[in-house]
Amino acid sequence: MPALLPAAIFVSPWLKDSLSAAFALFQQPIRVYGNRNVEVGEEKYDVIVVGGGHAGCEAALASARLGAKTLLLTLNIDRIAWQPCNPAVGGLAKSQLVHEVDALGGEIGKVADCYLQKRVLNVSRGPAVRALRAQTDKREYAMQMKNVVERQVSFFPFQFTYLTPNLSIREAMVTDILLGKNDNVEGVCTFFGMNFYAPAVILTTGTFMSGKIWVGRTSMPAGRAGESASHGLTENLQRLGFESDRLKTGTPARVDCRTVDFSVLEPQLGDEEVSWFSFDPDFHIEKEQMCCYLTRTTKSTHQLIKDNLHETPTYGGWVEAKGPRYCPSIEDKFEAS
């Protein structure tokens, strides 16, 4: 066999300088100790945000834009601001919150304008109780928000433009809050023992802390479908004296549109005059809207659900947590009627 010779890579001087600048961003010394903790050089921040959902993104961006050196920790960078259930933003009371976050410089109102359909609810009533709701493109929404928080370094041809230079992102599962001698917050420890230090930690963990998914009688640990739950942080907070409780939400089944006869359904179009969440006119870009369709249950549907209430986690006795008050599951509506 011919001898294997080391390959030579020739790089032009201008490319070499650009690559050197890029790799210099990540050259930090790592010191490994006898235990499972890892101390990473210069991994000290002013604020650490745990969780990359809607609240986590807004908290991290607000902190970084105010000049604080900020770290956003999330289990999966590719699931930042992901909408796993109904991909909607706004609605009664919630749209007012989106407007307020936008007025304070937040991003959700801007990103939510990547809509599939928009409607103003309660138009027959007074202005005080009207609300804007957008059905969003869940993939485009997540991609746009991910670009905002992740692209603090914008890659032009061999140049680096810092858009949010104070914001860093890491994939990690936080298991412990680190405290100092006076019970002051000093940072967090991750599942693999890496410590990140900051005098302020913001928890925006959503459904992931010791989360569990139920499908009828069957359950499995998960933050949401297809993603693992976060373990350790709940127990750590309990040891620190915090009380924990469990909330519940139900996710409707997905229906293959190829199996639906839309001709017998009632079309629900979006508003002809589009309203906006954001006050910034640069984000007021009108798009072609998709149609929604309305259908209704029947007596046979009601009876089918009533006959199988014992198969649901709540009425079967396996789950005691309360669901959202103004968004009840369909079986709760029948039980209350």
- Beta-bridge partner residues of 273: none
- Helix/strand/coil for 158: coil
Cα–Cα distance for residue pair 166/149, rounded to 1 Å: 11
Tell me: pLDDT of 202 over 60: yes
pLDDT score at 335 = 63
Domain ranges of the chain: 297-337
Cα–Cα distance for residue pair 216/313, rounded to 1 Å: 6
Nearest to 107 by CA among 163, 158, 69, 68: 163
Model confidence pLDDT, tens digit, residues 170-199: 999 999 999 999 999 999 999 999 999 999
Pairing of strands 70-74, 47-50: parallel
Average pLDDT, the chain: 82
User: Could you tell me the two tokens for 119?
Assistant: 């409607």
Q: What is the pTM of this model?
A: 0.79
Which of the listed ranges 32-46, 124-138, 208-222 does the model predict with the highest average pLDDT?
Answer: 124-138
Pairing of strands 167-171, 70-74: parallel
Model confidence pLDDT, tens digit, residues 254-305: 889 999 999 999 999 999 999 999 999 988 989 899 999 999 989 998 899 8
H or E element in which residue 239 lies: helix 233-239
